[in-house]
Structure 1
């Protein structure tokens, strides 16, 4: 993740960035080292701090679903509820195991509605 580079660019201490992101300095350290992935609830703050999304442009439907879920800071359970399906179904869509059936197309499209997005690198 690009957190360490951004933190250095801004000449900020790890403890200060951790406070900005609402986490501990130790969690930030793990994220900076790509040793652990942040919980979904931290992604909106990470995106704001970086000024962009830390992943490549999503192309496939599973990538788009994952990216949107992270943008919103939602868990799979919360996203499934928002979309109106059970979490197993949503998880299989996001992992690419299943493709949404046509009857779910409107729900998926509604979840992926374009909103203001941070710029990419």
Structure 2
């Protein structure tokens, strides 16, 4: 919020006073005050830093058109999540409380494909696809294995 002072002189010989008007800074056109999508978060951070889309694109390693698409509702591919998170300085999506939601969150935050997640967990990607897609619920021993994996963050 800024302050403007306007001197007012109705009659310079008789009275002199000033009026203070508090000015509210208006957000720039298109500024997402309450970001909902990943693109909103990117646009907000970009505008806060005064960067152009091409500058953010260079930081993340994508084209300027890609940043424009993300800012206009196209969801980024998961492989870019780590660089987006690094640019933002925070994770723009919440971690669910259930075990499979946490595993999906881990996969997303780290920008992993199913084969990459499978290698890290020593689990077949098709089985992970079934679990994460809701087709099958893991057995108790596998749930324990997933919990241990998530606790260790390896």
TM superposition score normalised by structure 1 = 0.81
**Which residue of 58, 68, 72 maps to 2:96?**
58
8 Å CA contact 1:76, 1:87 repeated in 2:
yes
TM superposition score normalised by structure 2 = 0.66
Q: Which has the higher contact order (CA 8 A, sep 6+)?
A: 1
For the residues of structure 2 that align with 1:33 and 1:62, how far apart are their CA atoms?
A: 29
Shift of 1:81: 2.2
For the residues of structure 1 that align with 2:82 and 2:68, how far apart are their CA atoms?
A: 18
**Which residue of 78, 82, 97 maps to 1:44?**
82
Number of residue pairs the alignment of both structures matches: 114
Uncovered stretches (5+) of structure 2, i.e. residues with no partner: 1-37
Partner residue in 1 for 2:9: none
Shift of 1:5: 1.2
For the residues of structure 2 that align with 1:38 and 1:30, how far apart are their CA atoms?
A: 9
Uncovered stretches (5+) of structure 1, i.e. residues with no partner: 116-121
Q: Which has the higher strand share?
A: 2
Q: Which has the larger radius of gyration?
A: 2
Partner residue in 2 for 1:21: 60
Q: Which has the higher helix share?
A: 1
Q: CA RMSD in A?
A: 1.8
